Amino acid sequence: MTAARSPTATAVLVAAVALGAAMGGNGLYMLYDPNGWYLAVPGVPRTGPFNQHFIRDIGLIYVLIGAAFAGGAYTAQRTALWAAATLWLAGHALFHLWEVAAGLCGADAIPRDFPGVTVPALLGLALTAWSVRNPAR
C-alpha cells in the first residue's frame, strides 16, 4: 500500500508533468515543422537565418527535457532527471541574458524571451529544489 501524497506533492508532480508536456511538445513541433516553429516563435527570426538542422537538434534536446520532467514525476530518480534538465534550461536562460549584456541583442529580448526561456528554467529550479528537500521513496 502506498502512502497518500500531500496536496503540495501532488501539485508539484502535476507541474512537472505539465512542464514536461510543454517542453516535449515544443521539441516535437521543432522536429516536425522546423520552418513553422522558426516563423511562429516571436523573435526567433531575428536571431539568425533559418537552419533546419540546428532547430531539429535543439528539438531533440527539448523532447529529452520534456521526458525528464514528465517521467521524473513517476520515478525515485526524479531529482537527477529534473536537475539535468534544469541545468540545460538554466544555461539556455543565462545565455539569453548574456546576449543582451554583450550587446548582441537589445533589452527588448528579455521580456520577449522571458515566458519561453526564463520561466521554464525557474520552474525547473523550483521543482528540483523541492525534490531535493522531498526525495522520492
Residue 1 in any domain: the answer is no
Residue 108 in any domain: the answer is yes
Q: What cell does 96 get?
A: 539569453
- pTM of the full structure: 0.92
Tell me: pLDDT of 106 over 80: yes
Length of the chain: 137
Tell me: pLDDT of 1 over 50: no
Residue 43 in any domain: the answer is yes
Average pLDDT along the chain: 95
Average pLDDT for 86-105: 96
User: According to the model, what pLDDT value does residue 73 have?
Assistant: 95
Residue 52 in any domain: the answer is yes
Residue 73 in any domain: the answer is yes
Residue 2 in any domain: the answer is no
Return the percentage of the chain with pLDDT > 90, whole number.
90
Chain CA centroid to CA 136, Å: 21
Structural domains of the chain, count: 1
User: What is the rounded CA–CA span in Å between residue 13 and residue 22?
Assistant: 14
Average pLDDT for 103-127: 96
**SS3 state of residue 109:** helix
User: According to the model, what pLDDT value does residue 137 have?
Assistant: 75
Which domain, by its residues, includes 121? 7-133
